[in-house]
Structure 1
């Protein structure tokens, strides 16, 4: 009896994936800068959330139609998608608020504490084994936050810092949920259902907060939604062509873009403590990602050895 054919090996294009991830970070940075700019033009947070999702939906659906076909949006886990939607809206509202309350660079840097909270939550909720290496990285990251924020110095509003840290915690919870959802659902389909299911509650919010705007503001809202949708597609595409361990370090390029936009638009330049604390947060996140890569590789090798 002939042996069954081996499963096709997925082609990897690491340099292309890195380029997509860098483009995604550039698009996300533009989106958050526009959120902050729109706030100065009187756009309510509820409006920004609605237009971010409504204008991104055609891009996401068009990508699925082009890459996989309409049948790819079928799901048997609509309840889990609802949970992801609820958490996603909370996380998005907190993230948008953090960029409104804080300078761009500081909001972006604090957002990169997400892997730190992800490690803590994985240990507490999923009972994952977490050794001294990752706990040391967690401590290093929190030291970086303290150096950057300097709560005794009054450099930044404590409310903004609290909102940014809350956003990172909620994003870490979402990452755990997505890890479980990703066992059966593709990334593009998950993005589609999140975007689609978020429209009814956001539409209800618009009944209370929608307001007229001038032409420039409408153009900025359209750009925010467009770059939000494009960033989702690029993030998804990057993971299609290379593993997470290859593309994840590119995420920290967002700090460069946030610094540039903060200087060009608001004439804000980060404090020296932001660079020092940010370096520790980045080092912590990269080390946690590397240890996760090593752990996953060992699990895979053990599974392959047991199947021989």
Structure 2
């Protein structure tokens, strides 16, 4: 239940972050908003260092942190651009195709075995993505492909987060991420730099606050529970963002976006349900002893490195 509460909190924080990003975009380029989100995010994360002490930064996984942050930075730039140039509900809904890419990545990268039913759920999920993107029609926008790229990169980040969470503290993951992201995001921001004025300062400070809080809640949720079970819960972000888009930006959720969101949600929910079934089977079936490292019948035990991936975004 604590993991569920943290995931709902994370979804709410990320929805609010999307809103202030859109508000800030009236003056600033998405790349510059990303820099300020990371700068102020670091400011909100630094108290973690005073709370835990310098020992929080002690790690032998610095290379994994760096790789995770490079991928995450590219995903952030794509994701922020999608939030600015697409309707909010459409941009956020496409981000929930991440679990589909996580499943594929688990097979290609980690050698996991995925059976027919989950492959079917993945295929159905991609049908939902196609309903939203609608390639070859008048409703197609190239920016929707940028949102899909952000989902792919988010899948890689989700895998690395779960790998790190096996040995690293959630607060260390948050702090290291912000420390890496500030200089990484400054470089592209310099090419589009405009000094913010007026209310824009409030929006970019809010982006840092909501983004950092969402990240904190997310890492804690993944630490406490299986991401495959938490993914459908995080979908609460979609109706929150749809309401914000309607209330602040006079946006409505189109028919195709609504249908695509329903299909993607159903696909994610089934994948999570299947994961839960397999997890229960390995612990209750005397003829199917649980594998090391929490592996399931569909996901055989792997060596200590790398561990099983999550399924979020």
Instruction: Give the TM-score normalised by structure 1.
Output: 0.85
Stretches of structure 2 that go unaligned for 5 or more consecutive residues are: 284-288, 293-313
How far off its partner does 1:25 sit? Answer: 1.1
Change over 3 Å in CA distance of 1:272–1:74 after alignment to 2: same
Q: Residue 233 of structure 1 is aligned with which of 216, 236, 239? A: 216
Change over 3 Å in CA distance of 1:230–1:109 after alignment to 2: same
Aligned to 1:153, what secondary structure does the other structure show?
A: coil
Aligned match of 1:75? 59
Change over 3 Å in CA distance of 1:125–1:273 after alignment to 2: same
Alignment of 1:111-190 (within 5 A): 111-157=95-141, 159-190=142-173
Structure 2 residue 18 is matched with structure 1 residue 35: no
Aligned match of 2:33? 48
Aligned to 1:215, what secondary structure does the other structure show?
A: coil
C-alpha RMSD of matched pairs (Å): 2.2
Change over 3 Å in CA distance of 1:275–1:173 after alignment to 2: same
How far off its partner does 1:56 sit? Answer: 1.0
Contact 2:229 2:272 in 1 (8 A): no
The more displaced of 251-260 and 211-220 is 211-220
Please give the alpha-carbon distance, in whole angstroms, between the structure 1 residues aligned to 2:255 and 2:31. 34
Deviation per residue, 1:33-54 (Å, 9 max, x gap)? 221222222x022211111111
Larger Rg: 1
Aligned match of 1:302? 290
Please give the alpha-carbon distance, in whole angstroms, between the structure 1 residues aligned to 2:25 and 2:66. 28
Stretches of structure 1 that go unaligned for 5 or more consecutive residues are: 1-13
How far off its partner does 1:102 sit? Answer: 1.1
How far off its partner does 1:64 sit? Answer: 5.5
Change over 3 Å in CA distance of 1:173–1:259 after alignment to 2: same
Structure 2 residue 1 is matched with structure 1 residue 18: no
Instruction: Give the TM-score normalised by structure 2.
Output: 0.84
Aligned to 1:190, what secondary structure does the other structure show?
A: helix
How far off its partner does 1:217 sit? Answer: 1.0
The more displaced of 120-129 and 239-248 is 239-248
How far off its partner does 1:59 sit? Answer: 2.5
